[in-house]
Amino acid sequence: MAELLEIKNLSVSFDTPQGELQAVRDVSFSLHAGEVLALVGESGCGKSVLCKSIMKLLHKNARITGGSILVDGIDITNYRQRDMERLRGRLFSMVFQDPMVSLNPTISIGEQIAEAVRVHHPKMEREAVHQRVIELMELVGITEPEQRYGQYPYHFSGGMRQRSVMAIALASNPKILLADEPTTSLDVTIQAQILDLLRDIQRKLGTATIFVSHDLGVVARVADRIAVMYAGKIVEIGTAEEIFYDPRHPYTWVLMRSLPSFAGEGEELYTIPGIPPTMIDLPPGDAFASRNEYALAIDYEEMPPMFQISDTHYAATWLLDERAPKVTPPMGGDFHG
């Protein structure tokens, strides 16, 4: 069966005055119909860039330097903006991080949703468009849609705005929804509401979703599968159970250790030592090596390949090589250390 979305060895670089910045490096993964795949990692690890490069929403100084993007078996790697316009909204659409800035401040909410409805159905009747907008507003839980139709974004709270953005994203029944940290800029109670809404809608419509987050706690709530990213690479990918109960990559370990719920009472929260590397002129070997307390000598010299752990679980760390010393992970459920 063809995957809905297949990313093969994708690399994305930005041209900067300091040199080439490799934001995404040799990333491969696939997305099955109807599933939620979470991309997890620290700020700047390339999660958002990866999403935006799939939809070709990156600025002009970014370019795909290698690999391919296949949607429904069609290679869109070299599609131009005009070709993408026909796919965006219908095949995939995106929910952005900050709903305070992702809506146009001078166009009413209803009109902005209507625009998304009309874009792929230009001949739709006025009444039908209006009907569809109201339907979408109800779907995402905007109360009193008729009254709210003519209101402007500044009338809406952050949570309501994010609901509107979701209505826009869902307007043309996309097959894939890319949610780029959709709850990060919302306060915690609203976060939970939006996450539940996302999950509900995803179940109802069966939209395959890529959910970007830096928060494993949030991810646990929505994801079927999880991909952990570090310095532009996927370092571990597996089902949610595999990642949470049997993490294999040292970076996944420290990510989990830094969750507040893992710290005992009265204990200080764990923080990952060091800072993420700059993505210009990366050193050879594993980019995480310098922050990794389990680093082996080879980590500084050679990039680890993806080791297969199960049909669905892969991790890129030399610790999985048969010659590597056995280490006991600091955490996780049932370990095979």
Partner 1 sequence: MNRKNPYIDYGKKILIFLLSVLILSVVVFYVARLAPGDPLVSYYGDRVEKMSMAERQWAEENLGLNDPIHVQYIRWLQNALKGNFGISFKYKTDVLEVIGGRLVNTLVLGGVGFVLIFVLALGLGILCAWHEEKWLDKLICKVGTIISCIPEFWLSLVLILIFAIHLRWLPSSGAYSIGKATDIPDRILHLILPMTIVVLNHLWYYAYMIRNKLLEEVRAEYVLLAKSKGLDKKSILFRHCLRNIIPSYLSIMAISVPHILGGTYIIETVFSYPGIGTLSYESARYQDYNLLMLLCILSGAVVILCNIISQTINEHIDPRMRESEVIETTEVTEIG
Count the residues of the shown chain that bind partner 1, applying the rule CB under 8 A.
38
Angle in degrees, CA 60, 76, 205, rounded to 5: 105
Distance between CA atoms of 120 and 100, rounded to whole angstroms? 26
179 binds partner 1 (CB under 8 A): no
In angstroms, what is the minimal distance from the CB of 51 to partner 1?
10
93 binds partner 1 (CB under 8 A): yes
55 binds partner 1 (CB under 8 A): yes
> Which residues within the stretch 136-175 sit at the binding site for partner 1 (CB under 8 A)?
147, 151-152, 154-155, 165, 168-169, 171-172
* Binding piece for partner 1, criterion CB under 8 A, among 28-36, 51-59, 134-142, 281-289: 51-59
In angstroms, what is the minimal distance from the CB of 76 to partner 1?
14
Identity of residue 226: I
Using alpha carbons, select from 112, 114, 131, 133 the residue that is nearest to residue 122. Answer: 114
279 touches 22 (CB < 8 A) = yes
188 touches 161 (CB < 8 A) = no
In this structure, the number of other CB atoms found within 10 A of the CB of residue 187 comes to 11
98 binds partner 1 (CB under 8 A): yes
63 binds partner 1 (CB under 8 A): no
How far CA 79 is from CA of 53, 88, 95, 267, in Å, comes to: 12, 12, 22, 52
126 binds partner 1 (CB under 8 A): no
Among 116, 228, 234, 315, binds partner 1 (CB under 8 A): 116
Q: Give the three-state DSSP class for 25.
A: strand
Q: Give the three-state DSSP class for 90.
A: coil
124 binds partner 1 (CB under 8 A): no
Binding site for partner 1 (CB under 8 A): 52, 55, 57, 59, 81-82, 85-90, 93-94, 96, 98, 101-108, 115-116, 119-120, 147, 151-152, 154-155, 165, 168-169, 171-172
